[in-house]
Structure 1
């Protein structure tokens, strides 16, 4: 397995089924909370995985661009969402978000646990540029805490490596206060059910900001 968060790494993760089992948990609760307060418009799901968030947004009336570096993830997402309400409002792209650029900004840019082959905070800077004035940025990341693994990139035991983890403060410190109004800075612990019923603890960072100009 590659020691970088590149296409090869994520293709192997998705082909092996290491990520697909978590899709049944549905969209992240932070996305539900944010989108419920907004009028549906255009949305980017940056690092869409198997499409839980993209399909939920589309069903709620959003026009969604869903991008993931792994073609295996996009294939699973297409299959999983085929025939679901709003599926026709989703455009799927297998593309590297470190080089891919959208044609126009979005009313909502959301990312959930995406780990690119570039520094994590630089990635958040990059996707923040794709939010339209008046639009919303939602970042859900893995929170850095003691016990994070430092070898490899598995999420199964020690959590993601420190390089892929952030805190609410490190994210919000990157948001220029003359450009952004920060609405949410949360650090939340929750537990999902993994393969075989195994509990999977998640240590989340949730940052929501509105672009003012």
Structure 2
């Protein structure tokens, strides 16, 4: 059974193996410190906690998963956050990605479409003392416009295309990190950056496999 240090070593190895795709040899120290601090086992069902530090996704019920640690770290790194940032997360799931982000920024707003995951993630994050995360149930495709513009948006499920409402809710200079592609088919992790005068620049990072974004879209 792997421990936390094994997981951190596995992330470093994945970064090395994908360095030509992600254009970096190491991830931000702040991101790796957050990965070290947040207890991944606390976000898993009790009967699956033995695999908490495996570098792989793990089922959490309702057809959803907690993402691979490398992918959580990479997406957090690609956001290029500052401590004063306000971030929107689409797809709360277990709350693990939310907890990682909470260590990096001032405020995290997170949306989840599945009601029981909203309930369990909210309770878990409260019990663990993460007090800069607000979660609400809703269709993340349309974002959370009340708190926009955001200093970054991260989507933890694959969308068939980049949602325009999320682009609209980005602050100038901010990034949207999102897997794009059809369910159970080829998907690509993408960085979408809003430049001056609302100009949009997109960059493909690498092939990924995420559960699909669900909702009215």
Could you tell me the TM-score, scaled by structure 1's length?
0.56
- 1:187 maps to what in 2? 206
Question: RMSD over aligned Cα, in angstroms?
Answer: 3.7
Equivalent residue of 1:91, what SS? Answer: strand
> Which residue in 2 is equivalent to 1:128?
167
SS at the partner of 2:124? Answer: helix
Query: C-alpha separation between the residues in 2 aligned to 1:134 and 1:176?
Result: 5
Q: Distance in 1 between matches of 2:70 and 2:174?
A: 24
1:101 CA drift (Å): 4.0
- Give distance in 2, aligned partners of 1:61 and 1:176: 21
2:88 pairs with 1:44? yes
Q: Structure 1, unaligned stretches of length 5 or more?
A: 1-13, 145-159, 190-201, 205-213
Higher relative contact order (CA 8 A, sep 6+): 1
Partner of 1:67: 111
**Would you say the 8 A contact 2:156–2:210 is kept in 1?**
no
2:176 corresponds, among 126, 137, 158, to 137
Aligned to 2:156: 112
- The 5 Å alignment of 1:12-91 reads 16-19=61-64, 22=66, 25=69, 28-35=72-79, 37-40=80-83, 41-84=85-128, 87-91=130-134
Query: What do residues 117-170 of structure 1 show as CA deviations (whole Å, max 9, x unaligned)?
Result: xxx21x5222111101121111134x56xxxxxxxxxxxxxxx345xx6446xx
Instruction: Name the CA distance, whole Å, in 2 between partners of 1:66 and 1:124.
Output: 16
Q: Is the 8 A contact 2:78 2:191 kept in 1?
A: no
Secondary structure at 1:61 match in 2:
coil
Q: Distance in 1 between matches of 2:142 and 2:164?
A: 13
Partner of 1:210: none
In structure 2, runs of 5+ residues without a counterpart are 1-58, 212-217
**Distance change >3 Å, CA 83–CA 203, structure 1 → 2:** closer
| 1:64-111 Cα distance to aligned partner (Å, 9 max, x none) | 1000111111112113322435x1111110112345642121001110
Confirm or deny: 8 A CA contact 1:31 1:53 kept in the other structure: no
Rate the CA distance shift 1:15–1:185 in 2: closer, same or farther, 3 A: closer
Q: Would you say how many aligned residue pairs link Structure 1 and Structure 2?
A: 150
